[in-house]
Structure 1
Amino acid sequence: MSTLADRVLTYVRNVEQAIEALRTNANGGGEVGELIELAEAYLKDTLHYFKVGDYETALATISYAEGLLDALRILKLSEVNWRKPSELAKLASRKVFVAGTFDIIHPGHVGYLKYAWGLGRVVAVVSTDESVKRIKGREPIIPAKQRVEVLEAIEYVTKARVGYEDDMFRVVEEEKPDIILLGPNQPFTEEEIRRALRSRGINAEVVRMPNIINCQLCSTSSIVRRILEMAGELTSSLRNH
């Protein structure tokens, strides 16, 4: 990744945490709320330009966002505490590896990816169609290539790709992450992963996301059940008419 891209990510990290803090502490809307919303819009633009590799435009838009937040501080409308550049530079240069089926994207996936983004640049690896069938006993609903396309469209993901059928650690060797982030309900222990990494000479930190994202449809199986229920209700309704 280029030095310019790292600089953009440093700005992004600072603006993200500042907006989150302001949203938590702001007293309603008004002019402060409008400026925060405008800064958020510039932040979203930045993430788009960053994903398509237009780092010059991304730097311009994130600078606008930072300027708006600095204006709040200068005018004493709200307090903005910027993080240390050294801390942000570390985040910008760190690669975080996540993996999963990512079949039907739901809030649990988004929470997992957002947590990973908070640790560094995210490389998301999807299971092959054959692996899903072998492990889950069914075909994936969404084919691997399309699952990658969806992940690449999510702002928290820097890169998405398909893993390997024969060796789950082969992709880790290729990507050389600094951190491997396990989901809260993934069926491996941290020590199991560390042992496998050590046996291959891979030096990566292994951590687990601490909290499960709970919602009514926060799993592929619950979404499928709901679709089937609605299909059954529709069929019954049509028969009654």
Structure 2
Amino acid sequence: MLGILFLTSWVNDPAERLRNYLNSFRAAVEEAERNFTGGRGEREVLEMAKRYYEDAKYSYDKGDYITGLINISYAEGLLDALRMLGASSFKWQRVEEPRVFVGGTFDILHPGHIALLREASKYGRVFVTVARNANVKRFKGYEPVNDEMTRLEVVSAVRYVYKAFLGDETDYLKSVDAVKPNLILLGPDQFVDEETLSRQLRDRGLEGVRIIKLREKIGGFSTSSLIKKILESRCRC
């Protein structure tokens, strides 16, 4: 019964719980490695704990959060056993994830968008700002196929995204101000370059923000090419 209740409590937000446990374990096992004083048998236990951790990470990447939580609980139990045996010492602590900022239109979501968000999730907790309808028309010269609320709903459903929200209609950096990210990930076709963005951030008092810009589209996907393909296959004019 206790096990069932424990599993039920996980289901509230298993992805969030697993991500927190993975970060906490990573910090703890690094400390345990530094302070390890055990023998060969204890070393095998430590290596087994690390293998369970790797299994938990694999499950997280696959979206199998319950299996991941089970694996990370085994890993934590083995690490605690080493501490109880006096073979190592460490402290469990909550580790705050880096905040990663991604912005875009995300009109007609495709595998390239998913790959971008997956890449962002490797660096930390992903916050996404979705471009407003007016800004899409202003910068691209045309209306998006899907309105801003539809695009926001779709992006929010992507499992790599921690939080998504609409951008500001007049100041695109206001969203960055709100998140205060540690890192900004830019797509290859976004209009701003790293140097300009870095200067703009410093002018707003945001220092030390790492900026990474992807040089190539992941998988060669683009919304415009999808629209063209749809028109070619469906238009009979």
Structure 2 counterpart of 1:141, from 134, 145, 150: 145
Structure 1 stretches lacking a partner, 5+ long: 16-35, 47-59, 71-84, 237-241
From 166, 183, 208, the equivalent of 1:179 is 183
2:234 paired with 1:231 = yes
User: Who is 2:84 aligned against?
Assistant: none
Question: What residue is the counterpart of 1:105 in the other structure?
Answer: 109
Matched ranges for 1:1-241 at <5 A: 8-12=18-22, 40=59, 44-46=63-65, 61-66=67-72, 93-203=97-207, 204-215=209-220, 218-232=221-235, 235=236
Task: Indicate if the aligned counterparts of 1:126 and 1:161 stay in contact, CA closer than 8 A.
Answer: yes
Give the TM-score, by structure 2 length: 0.65
Q: What is the distance in 2 between the residues matched to 1:141 and 1:198?
A: 35
Q: Counterpart of 1:140 in 2: which secondary structure? A: coil
What are the Cα deviations for residues 139-185 of structure 1, in whole angstroms up to 9, with x where unaligned? 11011111111011111000000101111111111111111111122
What SS class does the counterpart of residue 159 from structure 2 fall into? coil
CA contact (8 A) 1:43 1:65 kept: no
CA distance in 2, matches of 1:210, 1:10: 31
Please give the alpha-carbon distance, in whole angstroms, between the structure 1 residues aligned to 2:211 and 2:60.
34
RMSD: 3.4
Distance 2:158 2:151 in 1: 11
Counterpart residue identity of residue 121, structure 1: R
SS in structure 2 opposite 1:214?
Answer: helix
Structure 1 residue 208: deviation in Å?
1.6
In structure 1, give the amino acid aligned to 2:214: M
Q: What is the count of residue pairs matched by the alignment?
A: 179
What TM-score, normalized to structure 1? Answer: 0.64
Task: Give the greater-gyration-radius structure (CA).
Answer: 2
CA distance in 1, matches of 2:190, 2:164: 19
Identity %: 37
